[in-house]
A and B are shown apart, each in its own frame.
Chain A
Amino acid sequence: MTSASVPAAAAARRPAGRGYGFVAGLVAVAAIGSALPLLVGSALFLTLMTQAAINAILATGVGFLVRQNGSVSFGHAAFFGIAAYVVALTLKHAVMPAELAAIIAILLPTVLAFALGLVIVRIVGVAFSMLTLAVAQALYELLLKWRELANGDDGMAIAFPARVFGVDMATFQQPHSMFLICWLILMAVILGLWLLARSRFGTLTLAIRENEERARFIGYTTVVPRALIYAVSAAVAALGGLLFVLYNGFVSPGTLHWSLSGEALIMAIIGGPRLVWGPALGAVIFFFIKNAAGDFTDHWPAVIGTVLILVTVLMPRGVGGMLVRLAGRVGGRRSS
């Protein structure tokens, strides 16, 4: 996967250039998305798109970790789920207002990820993937078995106040309005991560990804930047979890299960994690395949497993990477 990094690094070194094009494209996609609820009346379609947008945020977090650290996480659902449970538990025991709970729901997984990151980012490659899986699954089992805390497999329904952040709760729980909120947040996340990737810090982490030893020799500490990237990607996953819980008003241990982590990773791989926006594209494709699978939903894991195998083998840069290459060929600007 290291071979695809040269164009990304080159782009990071050129702050002007294609930058405006990217922002313009993002604004266009945001606008088209915002118009969707007006154009399409189907509640079913909007429900699908809302789920896609929430999962896209999670997948964007997973993909960003691949892009900046070269690390593949099999446990990002943990941060998604912790965020959801923080909201559920704090509101159940009425320890703080919902707004504060929402902020803690993002901060806590971020801090946890940073602390954990200091230990596990030193492990590279395949072992890192194994560790993230073990960590997430341990948390899943904890929430499943500690019934007094989190009601086990039955999950928890959340009693939100009528208004959160001054917005009517109904706004969060109807697909028409929630899709718009999630879509715009997704675009903001992509823009933020894109800016971060182009910053000095972003370039440094790419350098560490390419050759950690060399980065250390020229005087950079390498563990903290990698842990910070891990924390950022966890924060993005947690944001997804927060939106999930606002939308559904319900949380169960399934939000931490490795099948969700795996799905998010699959979305990222389908879309192409080398691009900041790739995983989001992957998420939309994922939900369209899921929808099209229709009658085969009983065998959904086999379908998506097969898709994962095919994309990994035939399209290692994902659909996004293929689009970029096609666009480059049409425009004739890019040699690679």
Chain B
Amino acid sequence: MLINILNGLVYGGLLYILAVGLVLIFGLRRVVNFAHGSLFMVGGYVAFAVAAYGGFWLALVVSVAVLAVLGVVLDRLVFRPLQHEDPIATVLVTFGLLLVLEDVVKTIWGKDFLSMPTPTALAGTVTIAGEIFPVYRLMVILVAVLVAAGLTLWLRASRIGLYVRASSVDPVTTGMQGVDTDRVSAVVVAIGAGLAGLSGTIAAPLMALSPSMGSFILIDSFIVVVVGGLGSFSGAFLAALLIGQVHNFGVVYIPWASSMIPFLLMVGVLIWRPTGFAGGRA
């Protein structure tokens, strides 16, 4: 039972790191990046390629850096030119991008499943309450906690964090106060994309790499973002914990219907509270 809860935390942690990037970008730009799952997938593949030469830790750094740069490009070429259009235009363009990225990865690495070894330093297991649990999975939980703590600090203490929080509550007034969204947004989108890279990298030793790996986690992270309340950081954290547990519970006990459970949960939450946990802000 404890092991199941821990595994739920692992998946919830991966989801949180991915979903919070969506929330960051949404907070500032009011758009949803449909290519976010593809960034997760590209992050996994970049890590796979680098790990073959320089090991896991170098792969982690390179993957996050590459994705952060990709984020800046994304902001400059997509989010910024489309900021005065309907948000749906950005959705459509990032959806197009998703198709292109999946195809590029398929061309480079093929569509067969690839697997990445667990880093040797974390290959062992520990015994928790009489049951064996891999150290690597504990590290994933730890990384998610660190990301949550780091982001909270950054949002509370830094100037850009202040702008992001202000903008996610009321973008118009924030703009009138003289905050230059364009200048802030490159940093924010870079962080969001970098986090997708981080999530993809630490997920890579846990799951088989395939060009479509981004799609299913994108859908779960959408559920997290909507259940949490679009644009809410704490909402996304709670929702990721919940969806992680529910997902894992489903996979273990009712595998054939596991995909339906997060969805039913989402419908339940939306009936109870149409704007998600955080309410009112969506």
Interface positions of A (Cβ within 8 A of B): 1-2, 72, 74, 116, 119-120, 122-123, 125-127, 129-131, 133-135, 137-142, 145-148, 258, 262, 265, 269, 299, 301-302, 304-309, 312-313, 316
Q: Is B87 among interface residues, defined by CB-CB distance under 8 A?
A: yes
Closest Cβ of chain B: how far from A287's Cβ, in Å? Answer: 17
Asked if B263 contacts A305 (CB within 8 A), the reply is: no
Asked if A308 contacts B92 (CB within 8 A), the reply is: yes
Closest Cβ of chain B: how far from A334's Cβ, in Å? Answer: 23
Closest Cβ of chain B: how far from A57's Cβ, in Å? Answer: 21
Q: A126-B91, A145-B256 are in contact. List 9 more A-B contacts (CB 8 A).
A: A120-B270, A123-B226, A126-B88, A130-B225, A131-B222, A134-B219, A138-B260, A145-B259, A147-B256
Given A145-B255, A301-B99, decide whether A309 and B230 contact each other with a Cβ distance below 8 A.
no
Asked if B222 contacts A306 (CB within 8 A), the reply is: no
| Segment at the A interface, from B101-109, B138-146, B188-196 | B101-109
Q: Is B86 among interface residues, defined by CB-CB distance under 8 A?
A: yes
Asked if B85 contacts A316 (CB within 8 A), the reply is: yes
Tell which of A72, A131, A147, A305 touches B100, judged by Cβ atoms closer than 8 Å.
A305
Closest Cβ of chain A: how far from B270's Cβ, in Å? Answer: 6
Asked if B103 contacts A133 (CB within 8 A), the reply is: no
Tell which of B26, B89, B91 touches A316, judged by Cβ atoms closer than 8 Å.
B89
28 contacts between A and B (CB under 8 A): A1-B86, A72-B88, A119-B267, A123-B274, A123-B282, A125-B88, A126-B31, A126-B88, A127-B230, A129-B88, A134-B226, A135-B263, A138-B219, A138-B260, A141-B216, A141-B259, A145-B259, A146-B257, A148-B256, A262-B99, A301-B102, A301-B103, A305-B98, A306-B96, A309-B92, A309-B96, A312-B92, A316-B89
Q: Is B197 among interface residues, defined by CB-CB distance under 8 A?
A: no
Which residues on B sit within 8 Å (CB–CB) of A299? Answer: 103, 107
Given A129-B88, A129-B91, A313-B93, decide whether A134 and B270 contact each other with a Cβ distance below 8 A.
no
Interface positions of B (Cβ within 8 A of A): 26, 31-32, 81-82, 85-89, 91-93, 95-100, 102-104, 107, 215-216, 219, 222-223, 225-226, 230, 255-260, 262-263, 266-267, 270-271, 274, 282
Tell which of A119, A125, A131, A305 touches B103, judged by Cβ atoms closer than 8 Å.
A305
Closest Cβ of chain B: how far from A270's Cβ, in Å? Answer: 11
Max chain A Cβ within 10 angstroms of own Cβ: one of B92, B103, B225, B270 = B92
Cα A125 to Cα B230 with chains together (Å)? 11
Asked if B219 contacts A133 (CB within 8 A), the reply is: yes
Task: Summarize A's interface: helix, strand, loop or mixed.
Answer: helix
Cα A131 to Cα B93 with chains together (Å)? 18
Asked if B89 contacts A312 (CB within 8 A), the reply is: yes
Asked if B266 contacts A131 (CB within 8 A), the reply is: yes
Given A1-B86, A1-B88, decide whether A142 and B97 contact each other with a Cβ distance below 8 A.
no
Which residues on A sit within 8 Å (CB–CB) of B89? Answer: 1, 312-313, 316
Cα A127 to Cα B23 with chains together (Å)? 12
Asked if A306 contacts B31 (CB within 8 A), the reply is: no
Max chain A Cβ within 10 angstroms of own Cβ: one of B216, B225, B226 = B226
Which residues on B sit within 8 Å (CB–CB) of A122? Answer: 270, 274
Residue of B nearest to A141 (CB): B259
Which residues on B sit within 8 Å (CB–CB) of A129? Answer: 32, 88, 91
Residue of B nearest to A312 (CB): B92
Max chain A Cβ within 10 angstroms of own Cβ: one of B81, B95, B102, B256 = B95
Asked if B257 contacts A308 (CB within 8 A), the reply is: no
Cα A30 to Cα B263 with chains together (Å)? 41
The 6 closest A-B pairs by CB, nearest first: A305-B99, A141-B259, A302-B103, A308-B96, A138-B263, A309-B96
Cα A116 to Cα B26 with chains together (Å)? 25
Cα A267 to Cα B259 with chains together (Å)? 28
